[in-house]
Amino acid sequence: MCGIVGYIGTQAASSILIEGLKTLEYRGYDSAGVATISEGQLQRTRAKGKLKNLQVKLEGLEDPARLGIGHTRWATHGKPEEHNAHPHTDTKERIAVVQNGIIENYRELREELKAKGHEFRSDTDTEVIPHLIAEYLENPTGDAVLTEQSRLLEAARHAMTRLEGAFAIALISLDFPDELIVVRQQAPLVIGFGQGEFFCASDTPAIMPYTQAVLTLENGEIARLTPLGAEVYDFTGHRLKKYPQTLNWNPIMVEKQGFKHFMLKEIYEQPGVVRTCLETYLDTAWDTQSSHSPIKLNLPDALLDDLQHVQILACGTSWHASLVGKYLLEQVSGIPTVVQYASEFRYAPAPLMPHTLTIGVTQSGETADTLAALDMEQQRRSKSGNADYSPRMLGITNRADSSLSRLVPHIVDTKAGLEIGVAATKTFVAQLMAFYFLSLDLAYRRQAISLERLAEIIEGLRQLPAQLELVLESQERYVEELSHDFSETRDFIFIGRGINYPIALEGALKLKEISYIHAEGYPAGEMKHGPIALLDEKVPVVAIATKGTVYEKVLSNAQEAKARDARLIGVVPMNDPDAEETFDALLPVPNVDELLSPILTVVPLQLLSYHIAARRGLDVDQPRNLAKSVTVE
Ligand code: G6P
């Protein structure tokens, strides 16, 4: 959460900072601010609310600065008011700092610094950082291993050793007008290398328009950027040899390309995403005569062989994808699987089970709870001293360049391309694809599936891109019209069973996130044990009823809701007379193998929540109080 950017070079810094912040606004949008240095002046501008408020304040201001930092905030400590907006400064306003993360020991540092005469002007944890650096600049102590030219770096490095928590920082000082200092400790930070210029940001899209050469800092690293070069050190002051890598993202990915919102664009990208996943992970030459797996995940045997259990750790939409994963791993591969919220697992892990594959699912690869839970599990297993419990760790992520890939040794890249809308859509579908591939590969390895059935499922997977296109073409107009009926609706219920129960949860989450309508996802068979009491003519029920083991059961559950006057909307197979008779409104999808149905059934639900929110005039891509990547606990 929170986005930080920085620039040092020959171009006008402030427009680069604002353009960078625009691409990082998905990380938080409670307030924004920039600080620049030129002609002996540190100029700081901050505004409450979204970035456009800051832009209004900056309009018409001529700022020749070639050095600056910027921030877009998701409030943790201190209300989203202007005085809490970053950048924060020291008492003399000579040092400016932006931070993403939480400084856990800020209270004691604040008291210590106040006692030394530092004046605090915000309620944030971040403000201790500029004061601490100012203190060390004035009273240098400790093991200075750097030269006189690096005094700012040395003071900042020293300050870092005092901070507890997870953070990424960028800072500048009026007394060092040719230096930009950046730090990473458990929160992402990348450095972009240009010609005589450097960029830094919480995420690569902010620097993509300027350079493809990027260095991702590791935890515990601090870098000094000057127009002449980049130096990277560890927190003990030792210089490290680091080189940039070339990005393969493309700037076009951060444009809406004619769509009104990124979310709608990303919903429409789903057929292409599934196609890319199939091209990457499916062996097109495979048939039942082949003597190898049809799946090309390139994971080592030691990770997947002789498994007795799988445990999956995730948050939010990734947790929903993991529930579909559990269904597949149990029903297709025959492996008992548990799915845990990473935030819960951290403080109450189950006793260790032997021969267990631990999977972390996070589209961003940066969710603090998921990373911490995985780290804890990896250490717990390594320390157990029992080979049966040794860690087997796998990450499923859309960001192969993220912190997750540095934490766990094996990654499945979901290949969905950059997702900007805060509500996850195409990355969810791509996570489901990863679980199809993993469960089929395991089923093949364990001989838990016949080759004929495997071939049937693979053929079904191949049809999905065209079927997704059909769903999008046939439904968008209708769903848009249907959304008019819900302008006053305050509650929704989504029901599903079996492999589509997680899709009911995901449908409800999408609606909550972007339309602020109360919605509950429920296993259809459990309705009668409580939620049915909520039903009347004002509460629509969306039921996912696809052909397979629970089709008739879901239809019966839908009838029970109808008998309580609820308006019934069905995500149902195309051309199905039973469904036509049961539901008041139909969202038909092609009649596919039940196992593959979630890829299709989620799409009408994404469209429904999108159109309801868009019709209400809400900020679909940046819903209130949320952030796409939650890098605080
Ligand atoms: C945030 C986002 C959700 C997302 C969750 C987990 O809450 O708003 O859309 O599902 O984080 O994110 P991850 O990157 O770990 O999948």
Residues whose beta carbon lies within 6 Å of some atom of ligand 1: 315-318, 362-364, 367, 370, 422, 424, 626, 628-630
> How many whole angstroms from 315 Cα to the centroid of ligand 1?
6
Task: List the residue whose alpha carbon is closest to atom 8 of ligand 1.
Answer: 628
Reported as half-sphere exposure (CB side, CA atoms, 13 A), residue 42 has a value of 20
The per-residue DSSP string of 495-507 comes to EE-GGGHHHHHHH
**Coil/strand/helix, residue 397:** strand
- Is 628 among the catalytic positions? yes
H or E, element range at 384: none
pLDDT of 145: 47
Looking from the CA of residue 365, the nearest atom of ligand 1 is 14
- Ligand 1 pocket test: pick from 26, 312, 367 the residue with the most ligand atoms within 8 Å of its Cβ: 367
Alpha-carbon span 615 to 608, nearest angstrom: 11
> How many whole angstroms from 339 Cα to the centroid of ligand 1?
16
pLDDT of 530: 86
> How many whole angstroms from 583 Cα to the centroid of ligand 1?
32
pLDDT at 259 over 60: yes
pLDDT at 141 over 60: yes
Give the angle subtended at the CA of 346 by the CAs of 345 and 352, to the nearest 5°. Answer: 65
In CATH terms, the fold of domain 3-254 is: Glutamine Phosphoribosylpyrophosphate, subunit 1, domain 1 (3.60.20)
What is the band of 253 on the pLDDT scale with cuts at 50, 70, 90? low
Task: List, for residues 569-598, the tens digit of each pLDDT value.
Answer: 999 999 999 889 899 999 999 999 999 999
Alpha-carbon span 178 to 519, nearest angstrom: 52
The per-residue DSSP string of 302-349 comes to HHHTT--EEEEEE-HHHHHHHHHHHHHHHHTS---EEEEEHHHHTTSP
Task: List, for residues 297-337, the tens digit of each pLDDT value.
Answer: 999 999 999 999 999 999 999 999 999 999 999 999 999 99
Q: If 0-12 CB within 10 Å is exposed, 13-18 middle and 19+ buried, where does residue 309 land? A: middle
What is the band of 474 on the pLDDT scale with cuts at 50, 70, 90? very high
Decide whether 3-254 matches 470-633 in CATH topology.
no
pLDDT of 622: 85
Instruction: State the distance between the two ends of the chain, measured CA to CA, in whole angstroms.
Output: 10
Task: List, for residues 503-531, the tens digit of each pLDDT value.
Answer: 999 999 999 999 999 999 999 888 889 88
Of 284, 283, 280, give the one whose Cα is nearest residue 293.
283
Whether the model clears a pTM of 0.85, i.e. scores above it, the answer is: no
The per-residue DSSP string of 71-99 comes to EEE--SSS-SSGGGSSPEE-TTS-EEEEE
- Is 415 among the catalytic positions? no
Task: Give the active site residue among 2, 200, 277, 315.
Answer: 2
| Domain boundaries defined on the chain | 3-254, 262-449, 470-633
> How many whole angstroms from 477 Cα to the centroid of ligand 1?
29
Amino acid at 527: M
pLDDT at 365 over 90: yes
- Ligand 1 pocket test: pick from 262, 313, 317 the residue with the most ligand atoms within 8 Å of its Cβ: 317
Alpha-carbon span 353 to 76, nearest angstrom: 36
pLDDT of 559: 87
pLDDT of 450: 97
> How many whole angstroms from 416 Cα to the centroid of ligand 1?
15
| CATH number for the domain whose boundaries are 262-449 | 3.40.50.10490
- Please name the CATH architecture into which domain 470-633 falls: 3-Layer(aba) Sandwich (3.40)
pLDDT of 534: 86
Q: For the chain, what percent of residues have pLDDT higher than 70?
A: 97
Task: List, for residues 101-123, the tens digit of each pLDDT value.
Answer: 999 999 999 999 999 999 999 99
Contact 167, 183 (CB under 8 A): yes
Amino acid at 78: G
Contact 324, 371 (CB under 8 A): no
Give the pairing type, strands 309-314 and 337-341. Answer: parallel
pLDDT of 95: 97
pLDDT at 47 over 90: yes
pLDDT of 143: 53
